[in-house]
Chains A and B, each alone.
Chain A
Amino acid sequence: PTPPYLRWAESLHSLLDDQDGINLFRTFLKQEECADLLDFWFACSGFRKLEPNESNEEKRLKLAKAIYKKYILDNNGIVSRQIKPATKSFIKDCVMKQQIDPAMFDQAQTEIQRMMEENTYPVFLKSDIYLEYT
């Protein structure tokens, strides 16, 4: 069978589908001071998984606000800088009007994912941290 670390090199998704892969990628991103990119990506996935119903309405609103505040509000943050202005104002509108939709972070997540696929992920595969691991 293919060792996990070789599968990590196939695609970003195969890396993010493995706990050890995530940990190593996160260590690398932390060194580059951009671990927020990965945390935001997972936060978006986790948010989408929360089903809208009466019992968790308050939690979803609180969480949407927390994600917005931590990653999007500060225009100098690593995540915020990679998200298009239109996408940011869409999310801001959703939060302000309390229109909390499971898909409200999807576009932002796609933009961050594309950035990782084109930039941090290929750099990671050439990094000492990955090569030493293999």
Chain B
Amino acid sequence: IDSEDDLLQECITSAMPKKK
């Protein structure tokens, strides 16, 4: 089970642009 912090970090990363 993901901890809240992991979940939050995953969410933040998912919104960032991918390296060009």
CB contacts (< 8 Å) of B19 on chain A: these are 19
A103 touches B (CB below 8 Å): no
B16 touches A22 (CB 8 A): yes
Bin chain B's interface residue count.
10 to 19
A19 touches B15 (CB 8 A): no
For chain A, what secondary structure do more than half of its interface residues adopt (helix, strand, loop), or is it mixed? helix
A43 touches B15 (CB 8 A): yes
Q: Which of B2, B15, B17 contacts A49 (CB 8 A)?
A: B15
Residues in B lying within 8 Å of A, measured CB to CB: 2, 4-5, 7-8, 10-20
Residues in A lying within 8 Å of B, measured CB to CB: 16-19, 22, 39, 42-47, 49-50, 59, 62-63, 65-67, 69-70
In the A-B complex, the 8 residue pairs with the closest CB atoms: A45-B15, A46-B11, A46-B15, A66-B4, A42-B15, A42-B12, A46-B14, A66-B8
